[in-house]
Amino acid sequence: MDQTIYHVLLAGRKVGPYDRRTIVGMRIKNALTSDHVLVGVDGSELTVAELIGQHPAPSFSPDRSGSFSVVQATFTAALVEVRGKGLDVPRFKDEVEARVQGGVLRIAGRFRKGLGWKEDRVKLVLKDVVHARVQGSLVDLWLRTGAAPGKPLQRLTLELFTHESAGELVDWMPGATPWPEPAARSEPAKSADGKLLWMAGGGLAVVVVVLVVLILVALSLRRVY
């Protein structure tokens, strides 16, 4: 684990010090942005995004032995949300490692179990990713893991910290199609025109009624005099 400490530059002042894990946690909670500047103990400066991009030394041990698939890409990420049934995904906290290798996306990290912490990983088969969407630095993945066609898809949302990293991750899923966004509702033009015509017609009717009343009043006055 990287024990290097950094100060955060806020309004020209140094705040901290914080270690990498704390800074990543602050970024996940949006207390910091990827553009905030950090100052190391040696006076060097880098952004939060650059720090997160410097992958720490491997610390996740599950299935490390006996698996020598070539690692094609590694991303620093955070698990934001899991919706729906499918893969049993641990409730990972803080920073996770998202690794593309051998046709799978391997997500490894730590989560609370009882009073302590446990490290584990889950593997997503890339061909099971039906839809993918990038929203800023967030990636939404819709998975079909053995479910019958027509059944609801499981959705995972990952924070990749930069838009570039989010796009690069989705690029490893060429079989995934964009999520079908619902069409924006729009009222037919005739509805708006009809409303205006109705308002205009209503206003004209009021004017006609007022004129009739005035004419009747005038006729009544002439008869009186």
Q: Looking at residue 200, what is its pLDDT?
A: 45
Q: Is 142 exposed, middle or buried (0-12, 13-18, 19+ CB in 10 A)?
A: buried
pTM, full prediction: 0.65
Collapsing DSSP states into helix, strand and coil, what is residue 155? strand
How far apart CA 202 and CA 225 sit, in angstroms, is 35
Any idea which architecture 5-53 has in CATH?
A: 2-Layer Sandwich (3.30)
Please, what is the Cα angle at 61 between 58 and 62, to 5 degrees? 135
Write down the domain spans for the chain.
5-53, 71-178
How far apart CA 109 and CA 122 sit, in angstroms, is 9
Q: Torsion angle, CA of 206/207/212/214, rounded to 10 degrees?
A: 110
CATH topology of domain 71-178: PH-domain like (2.30.29)
Q: Looking at residue 115, what is its pLDDT?
A: 81
Q: Looking at residue 141, what is its pLDDT?
A: 93
Please, what is the Cα angle at 99 between 98 and 101, to 5 degrees? 155
How far apart CA 205 and CA 197 sit, in angstroms, is 12
β-pairing verdict for 104-113 and 93-101: antiparallel
From first to last of the 225 residues of the chain, give the pLDDT tens digit.
456 788 888 888 888 788 888 888 888 888 888 888 888 888 888 888 888 876 554 444 444 444 456 888 899 899 999 988 888 888 988 889 999 988 899 999 888 887 888 888 989 889 889 999 999 999 999 988 755 566 788 899 999 988 999 999 999 988 888 888 654 444 443 333 444 334 445 555 555 555 655 666 566 655 545
